[in-house]
Structures are given as C-alpha cells and as structure tokens.
Amino acid sequence: MSDQPDVLILGGGSGGYACAFRAAQLGKSVTLIEEDKVGGTCLHRGCIPTKALVHAAEVADTVAHASALGIGATLDGIDLDGVYAYKNAIVERLYKGLQGLVRSHRIEVVHGTGRYAGGRTVHVGDRTITGAALVLATGSEVRSLPGLEIGGRILTSDQALTFPELPRRVVVLGGGVIGVEFAGIWASLGADVTIVEALPRLIAAEDEWASKQLTRALRKRGITVMTGTRFAKAVQDERTVSVTVESGDTLEADLLLVAVGRGPRTAGLGLTELGVDVDPRGFVTVDDSLRTSQPDVYAVGDIVAGPQLAHRGFQQGIFVAETIAGLSPTLLEDSAIPRVTYSNPEVASVGLTEEQARERHGDVATVVYDLAGNGRSQILGTSGGVKLVRAGATDGPVVGIHMVGERVGELIGEAQLIVNWGAYPNEVAALVHAHPTQAEALGEAHLALAGTPLHSHS
C-alpha cells in the first residue's frame, strides 16, 4: 500500500478503471478508490444488465412470432426470476474477469467513499492519499423531477432492473435512450407501455430522421408515444400509480419509470469548496486535455459534460493515463464517438446530424437507403434505413451516419471509420460488402450518394 502513488483515481467505473489499467501498463503505480464495485454503473446497473434484459426481450419476441416463419413455438410465459438470474450471471462473470485484471495490473483498490481534500489529495476512511496526479472519475447518478419522489411503484432504471413483478401497464417518463430501451423491454414482455416526453420528439439528441423512424416503429409495436407532453404529478398506492400530465389527462399504470436522464455525481465531494471549477449543472470544467482548474488534477467520464457513454469514459481514461505518462495521445471530439440506442429497432449513429452539419458546413447532401432493399434485413423482418450526411452539396466527406433497424448497432464500427477518417462517398462505394449482410446497406447508401446506386432508385 502506498499513500503517494503516481496516479490516484477517485471512482472505479468505466473511465476510472480504464485510466488505472493504462497507467499501470505504462509503469505507473496506481491507487483506485471505489465505494461500491469496480465496473461502476455500466457493469452493475447500466449497460450490461439492461442489454441482457434487451436480449431476453428479443428472445420473447422471436418465440411469439415464430409461426410467421413456419416454426411451431409458443410463448408460455415469462419467468422473471429466471430472466434476472440470466442477467445477474452475465454481470458476475464480467465482474470476476475485471477483478482478475485489477490484480494482474497490481492496482491497489481502496474500498470506501472518497472526499476531495485539495491539491491532489483524497481522504477515504482513515487514510489520506496524495497522488502525483489525481483523476476524478465519480460517474453519474439518476435524476428525477422536483416534487417526484422515488420509491414504491415510482422507479428509476436502478430499481427497474430488479423489480420483483412484471407490470401489465407502465408509464415511462422520458423518451431518451434509457426510456425507449426500457419501454421496448417491457412491451416485448407483454406490458402495455406509454412513453411521456416533454420534448417534441424521442431521442432528441439524434438526427430527426432517426427519431421519426423510431417513433413510427414503436407505435407499430403498440407502444403509445406522447411527445410534447409535460408531466404534472404522480400519485401511487400499493397496487397502482396515477400519472397526470399538464393537460390534465391521467394515465393509470402499475409502474412509473422515471427516465429523465442522469446527472454528474459531483455534489458532496468537496470539489467546489477546494478550488475545482464545476459548472452550474454540476459537471467538472476541463480543458481540451481534460485538465481541471487544479494542477495535475484531471476529470474523465460522465462528470465531464457531453454524451454519457461508457466507451467515451474508456477513451478519456486511456487518454489521461497516456497524458500523465508524457505521451501525446489524441482525444476524439464527442460527435466522433459512436452512439447506439438498444431499442427495438436499434438506433446507431456517429458524426453530425443533418442540422449540425448544416450549421458547421453550410451546404450538405443527404441520402437514405431503405432497409426494404436489403436482403438480410428482410430475412430478419426489420424495417428502417441508413442515412448519410455529406459536407458540401456536390462533393465532400461523409460527416454523419445514422441507422435505424434491428442489429444496426453492429454496423457502427465501420461507420465510425468512415466518418473519423473523412472518407468520401465514392471511396466507400468502391469497397465490397459481403452478400447477404446488413453491412451491404452501408455500401448501398454510399453508392447512392456517389451517384451510382445499385439496388435503389437514383
């Protein structure tokens, strides 16, 4: 144990442990402070458990619609305890693997709640630890609305992962990523779901085309979507919850999921009191190298304003570790980081929306390739499409790719290479995509944007 490590990290989530691993690889001594379990929200209460539930819901959908493929299968019911056991087993296996990596990198993990003590120092329990560099990586926490108390049948995503009964009726307050993912899960498991969103459209950070595609698909699945609708109040008893919106209409449900976003977990850490600049929303202020207002103190992950994505945390953690070690790493801008919403259908994107591209580049050109023309998508029974955004009306690189459809999240790897390497439509059109795959849709879209469409109209 050392109370003066080369790198001291407060928070063991995606950004924190990525920083720890890379710093250790570069020969630094590392101490990691974590009050719960290494892996943070993503592994234990976010990305992994929710995607396990998404997959369980996909299996339920497959069985329920098997007769359309000539397969004699029936969905006899949902064993919720069994679904949770499947989810928990995945989390536990990944957690054990992560613990093994911590040991192999010889990282000291201090379990406890750390509090910033100024400079590069953190108090945790009866220890005072000072690093040659300090990295703040305390992550995010669920948010609610004023006057809306969480408890009973009013849940956040944290409680929804373990709620002991399968609801028949659910109101989801919030049409962002978390809201539409849980809406899809519960709908597939047989619930009547209503999404209430104050903004004019779902997944408002995505391209408007993608939002419209998803809304249409969710409504086709029987999910009620109420956009431009503000929440007024919620009243619950032992069996139900009544949700009233601003118009005065009331929705009766078994559960209310509050999915209005996540905020930075910075309150009560002593940051502002001891000179670390924090903006009015609670995000730590950083420069282009993720340095805070205090010398040799950095911040990574969800406490840095921008998209709250585990892989963004990984990238930032690695970047800071390499910066501390004296290397010259490159940090991608937030728009260049791929994004996936695991709804049904999925939404995947990288780069600029059409609106953002027009603001930055002026003239742009766009094309949409409909998945109706893609053989693999028809086999899977999915609708949707691929939208490309090019800088310049007649020539320029592809600056945005937006996809909607089943499994399109698996295409985002190629999409990010196209955008981040500044590829031109004709360059991607010259590549060969295996047939029949959904990846062909990316190729077809670039063929169309290059003016040489194959399986689409010019």
Q: What is the pLDDT of residue 378?
A: 95
Asked if residues 305 and 281 have their Cβ atoms less than 8 Å apart, the reply is yes
Q: Report helix, strand or coil for 380.
A: helix
Catalytic residue status for 105: no
In this prediction, residue 30 carries a pLDDT of 98
pLDDT tens readout for residues 317-327: 999 999 999 99
Neighbours of 260 (CB within 10 A): 21
Options 65, 123, 435, 446, the catalytic residue: 435
Q: How confident is the model at residue 399 (pLDDT cuts 50, 70, 90)?
A: very high
Q: Does pLDDT of 375 surpass 90? A: yes
Q: What is the pLDDT of residues 330-346, one digit of tens each?
A: 999 999 999 999 999 99
Q: Whole-number mean pLDDT of the chain?
A: 96
Task: Report, as an integer, the average pLDDT of 447-458.
Answer: 87
Q: Which two tokens stand for residue 36?
A: 């719960």
Instruction: Judge contact between 336 and 311, C-beta under 8 A.
Output: no
What is the residue type of 396? G
- Answer yes or no: are the C-beta atoms of 342 and 54 closer than 8 Å: yes
Whether residue 456 is predicted with pLDDT greater than 90 in this model: the reply is: no
Strands lying side by side in the sheet with 127-130: 114-116, 121-124, 127-130
393 secondary structure, DSSP code: S
Question: pLDDT per residue over 237-285, tens digit each?
Answer: 999 999 999 999 999 999 999 999 999 999 999 999 999 999 999 999 9
C-alpha 137/C-alpha 34 separation (Å) is 10
pTM, to two decimals? 0.95
> What does the DSSP assignment read for 421-447?
TT--HHHHHTS---TT-THHHHHHHHH
Integer CA distances (angstroms), 337 to 137, 268, 327, in order: 19, 30, 22
The radius of gyration of the chain from alpha carbons, rounded to an integer in Å, stands at 23
Summarize pLDDT for 427-440 with one digit per residue, the tens.
Answer: 999 999 999 999 99
Q: How would residue 458 be classed by pLDDT, with cut points 50, 70 and 90?
A: low
Q: Report the C-alpha gap between 283 and 41 in whole angstroms.
A: 17
Residue 2: is its pLDDT beyond 90? Answer: no
pLDDT, average across residues 287-297: 97
Condensed to tens digits (0 to 9), the pLDDT of residues 41-91 reads: 999 999 999 999 999 999 999 999 999 999 999 898 899 999 999 999 999
CA 209, 58, 173: angle at the middle one, nearest 5?
55
Q: Which two tokens stand for residue 395?
A: 């020539």
**CA dist., res. 320 & res. 45, Å (int):** 25
Segment 344-374, tens digit of pLDDT: 999 999 999 999 999 999 999 999 999 999 9
Q: What is the pLDDT of residue 1?
A: 65
Query: In this prediction, what percent of the chain has a pLDDT beyond 70?
Result: 100
Confidence of residue 26 (pLDDT cuts 50, 70, 90): very high
